[in-house]
Structure 1
């Protein structure tokens, strides 16, 4: 790599050349799911549907730390377009994080960025799936989390198809050089899978060894449209540490049965 490294790539002309991927702040469902798993419960106590789950106080603090980070960016590094999952926890994160510079940025809510649909596994813990849906538990073990599709839900591969569709639109649209995506951990992981062409074992290894943290920042860059994306930072929470915000994960080896 020549002098300037990956960051120098964003100075070259072309379409969207930097993708900033942000996982939403801690949500009420994150806390409820972790508590249910720890208690050995079968059902997650969450009265609202997944799309309506709000941030916790900690999640709001994490989004505020993101705002401080964005406010500290020079103009050329600030997002030209913002693409947000329609789910409340992502929309709240984006609203807080970008409140400091209303300016002329373009904000688009895109349903392709929503969290993975869990279908019949919705609100079930790992124990709940094993006890109440043993056939599905066996199917999931046989197929693996990348290809297992719960009835009424999606596999990781299904979500990857959504991301491919989104990236095609991003390439066709006049988004400006820097695009921000505020979404969910499985979605952001699968951005890397699609953009880097990762195989199933690599995706599973990445999920197991470096689970995405709430409010984390991931950067992908490329020199111009059509060039391969490269990672220029993954799962970074230094902005949370600087702001004194709690760092939370709420992921596990059974992340395919937990709502994120």
Structure 2
């Protein structure tokens, strides 16, 4: 089914404790990232909560018809905090907040909690398999490929298009979702997408958005916008 939403936006969740732990582990050359919670339960840190409230001020000026959030705590709390700020400003989202597991982060399977060094040391055969198959189609044991994420996202977009054609939908999700949406909405080829992903920084609490043209195609109108964050950029 062709996507028939007039506007699609995506907010990457605010900074989480996991973001910080991953950066620390990679910089220190550790094999394992020190995160106690399962991925779905990783919370926002204090900065992430402030970023979420800043998104709320942006949302009050740019209200969508519907908000759809990943069930992962860091994304869901970003949505809840942002909506709370917008509501305090007297702005309501007609369709409210919907939680949908199809915009959850990519599952890494056996590679979960491993740094680049950890993967190379513990799963060298998987690293070779990834290099042979390419990042888009490689699926770690127990995990998902980029193509798997795209497939579930297509399902959600088709459902929303059937339910609410012509509306404005704002997702609160993850870095991976930005590139999955580019692949689906802009039809960016695999190689070009991976090149763009390697060169693109998707800051926490940034906004990326697309508008549908008269002929049905989408063009990006906001590219990882962070102006609303002011001094909160991380």
How far apart, CA to CA, are the structure 1 residues paired with 2:128 and 2:226?
A: 36
Paired residue for 2:193? 203
Q: Deviations over 1:14-38 (max 9, x none)?
A: x630111110011111110110011
How far apart, CA to CA, are the structure 1 residues paired with 2:176 and 2:10?
A: 12
How far apart, CA to CA, are the structure 2 residues paired with 1:237 and 1:202?
A: 24
Paired residue for 1:139? 129
Q: Deviations over 1:154-204 (max 9, x none)?
A: 011111111111110111012662111000001121101111111111111
Q: Is the 8 A contact 2:205 2:226 kept in 1?
A: yes
With the length of structure 2 as denominator, give the TM-score of the two structures.
0.92
Q: Is the 8 A contact 1:81 1:176 kept in 2?
A: no
Aligned mate of 2:155, from 161, 165, 173: 165
Query: Does 1:228 find its partner at 2:217?
Result: yes
Paired residue for 1:6? none
Q: Is the 8 A contact 1:80 1:175 kept in 2?
A: no
Query: Does 1:37 find its partner at 2:26?
Result: yes
How far apart, CA to CA, are the structure 1 residues paired with 2:11 and 2:184?
A: 17
How far apart, CA to CA, are the structure 1 residues paired with 2:51 and 2:165?
A: 26
Q: What count of residue pairs does the alignment treat as equivalent?
A: 226
Paired residue for 1:12? none
Paired residue for 1:240? 229
Aligned mate of 2:59, from 70, 73, 76: 70
Q: Deviations over 1:76-108 (max 9, x none)?
A: x41111100000000010011111344344211
Query: Aligned to 1:221, what secondary structure does the other structure show?
Result: strand
Question: Which segment is superposed worse, 132-141 or 117-126?
Answer: 132-141
Q: How does 1:1-260 map to 2 (within 5 A)?
A: 16-71=5-60, 73=61, 77-102=62-87, 103=92, 104-174=94-164, 177-223=167-213, 227-241=216-230, 244-245=231-232, 247-248=233-234
How far apart, CA to CA, are the structure 1 residues paired with 2:77 and 2:25?
A: 24
Report the Cα offset of residue 138 of structure 1: 1.1
Gaps of 5+ in 2: none
Query: Aligned to 1:19, what secondary structure does the other structure show?
Result: strand
Q: Deviations over 1:21-63 (max 9, x none)?
A: 1100111111101100111100110010000000011111111
Gaps of 5+ in 1: 1-14, 249-260
Query: Aligned to 2:217, what secondary structure does the other structure show?
Result: coil
